[in-house]
Amino acid sequence: TRLSTTKDIAPDYTENAYYVSGYIYFTKNEFRKSFKCYKKVYDLNPNNMNAVSMLAINAISEYNLKDAEKYSILYLAENPDEVNMHYILGLVYYLNGDEKAVEHLARVMRSKSFEGFYASGLFYELGGDTERADNIIKSVMKMRNDLVPAWIATARINLKKGDRKTAYRSFIDAGTIAYRKGLFDVADRLFFKALELKGETDVDVYYFLARTQEEKKNYALAISYYNRYYAATKETDILVHAGYLYGLQKKFGRAYAYFNNAMKIDPENPSPWFFTGLVQVWEEKYSEANASIAKAINIRNDEESYYFYYALTFEKMNRVNEAEQALIAAIDANPASGRSMNYLAYLYAERNIKLDQAYSLVIRALDLEPENGAYLDTLGWIYYRQGKYDMALEYTLIAEELLTEEDSMDPVVYDHIGDIYIMLGKKERALQYWEKAFNMNRDSKIEEKIKRVLK
């Protein structure tokens, strides 16, 4: 549910509409969308404590620890005895290794509920009552095996029982669960604990540490762990991935050295060729990238990613027909690739051709990802090409809102909105959006549009 951004709506109606939308998303376990709705409620009315409570609940459901802590504390400032908020804070502090967990878990464990039972297990583990904690956490894990604190408690209990081998495996399991939930700092601590316990022959922990450091964008440290893992396993794809991380840091020479080494070791592996092409794209060496990716496709011709970037290189070289054929091949390789369908739809819309096909493609992409801002912008641009300016404006404004929320705004979207406003006769609004686009990307074509309006 998304309220129109093109019409003025009474504040009370808007607050209630977002609240109901948030509740609907919550009942569907779509916690991130629910959180966004309740955040809009809170922005409209910071005194809505029900919204504050739901923000905390949604945040902990997504393991968004920062916001879970923030909104629980806000709620407890007004309602200091609310057990659910103490439960959330207890979990947050337990996950962060903060001793404040004890006081909040103690407030919850008296509750005759699953939360009270679970909190008591974590409380006893922190207090050193290993036997009671073990019995409770084992029971909790039988009911719910997706709770990160329970996995951490299991690992710590096994260590306290003196079973280093089982504790090592438990810390790896707990770290893996934390990683999958996006708790990279927590996962990092757990994998380091496993490293302290590891046997001489077990190298998996280096791989897990590398993954967490990569997610935290500590690329140098990630590469060092990948290198340790590679030294023991000789997995060529690890070399390729380390090269990719050098590419992300714009250390292109080091990246190519890793890729070339992988090619020599495993000539039939397409990955070194593809990632060589990808890094060449980043360097804007499109002809070289095209040749590299073609070699990857010659080895393996069923990878959507290969054809997607192959198309990009063709487009950059103004070989549009070949870009079109590459995108068709990408969709054949993966009929559920929203990005390839959107790319082909946008390619058609940009050239004002095959608009019916473009529409069908982007609708298929939106069926897969209904709140993808880039796809919605493509749909708006197709409507623009068809002369349906009101509909074009509606969808590009929604795209703007979504991309702004994700902090991934594209100046092209601002440019499109400016073009649409000018066709609707709203010069001042067009100028505002073109100036936004120009501030992000000093494109001479946008500058010319601005000058024409100002004449």
Q: Token pair of 1, please?
A: 């549910």
pLDDT of residue 201: 64
pLDDT digits (tens, 9 = 90+) for 39-98: 999 999 999 999 999 999 999 999 999 999 999 999 999 999 999 999 999 999 999 999
Q: How far is Cα 443 from Cα 452, in angstroms, rounded to an integer? A: 15
pLDDT of residue 397: 98
End-to-end alpha carbon distance in the chain: 42
Q: How far is CA 311 from the centre of its chain?
A: 24
Q: Would you say 280 and 252 are in contact if contact means Cβ atoms under 8 Å apart?
A: no
pLDDT of residue 9: 45
Residues with pLDDT less than 50, the chain:
1-10
Considering the entire predicted model, what is its pTM?
Answer: 0.86
pLDDT of residue 200: 60
For residue 200, give the DSSP letter: T
Q: How far is Cα 293 from Cα 354, in angstroms, rounded to an integer? A: 27
pLDDT of residue 6: 43
pLDDT of residue 357: 98
Alpha helix segments (H runs only) across 79-203: 83-95, 101-108, 114-127, 130-143, 148-160, 164-180, 184-197
pLDDT of residue 455: 78
Q: Would you say 116 and 109 are in contact if contact means Cβ atoms under 8 Å apart?
A: yes
- Amino acid present at 264: K
Q: How far is Cα 213 from Cα 208, in angstroms, rounded to an integer? A: 9
Q: Does the CA dihedral 417-419-421-426 come out positive or negative?
A: positive
